[in-house]
Amino acid sequence: MTPRLSLPDDPPTVTLPRRTLALILLNAFGAGFLTAIIVTLLITL
């Protein structure tokens, strides 16, 4: 029962950094994807 009690206490502190990291990664990936599309468009033009 002790590990089950300790697990619920850890997620709230861990989920916030994970969410922020996920958002940062998604933003960086989206920006890189957009820049890649722009570069390809410029090259094709």
Q: What is the pLDDT of residues 34-43, one digit of tens each?
A: 999 999 999 9
Residue 42 confidence (pLDDT): 95
What is the model's pTM? 0.44
Residue 14 confidence (pLDDT): 58
Segments forming the whole domain that contains residue 42? 1-45
* pLDDT of residue 9 exceeding 80: no
**Total structural domains within the chain:** 1
Residue 20 confidence (pLDDT): 87
Dihedral angle over CA of 9, 12, 14, 20, nearest 10: 180
> What whole-number distance in Å separates Cα of residue 44 and Cα of residue 8?
53
* pLDDT of residue 7 exceeding 60: no
Residue 15 confidence (pLDDT): 61
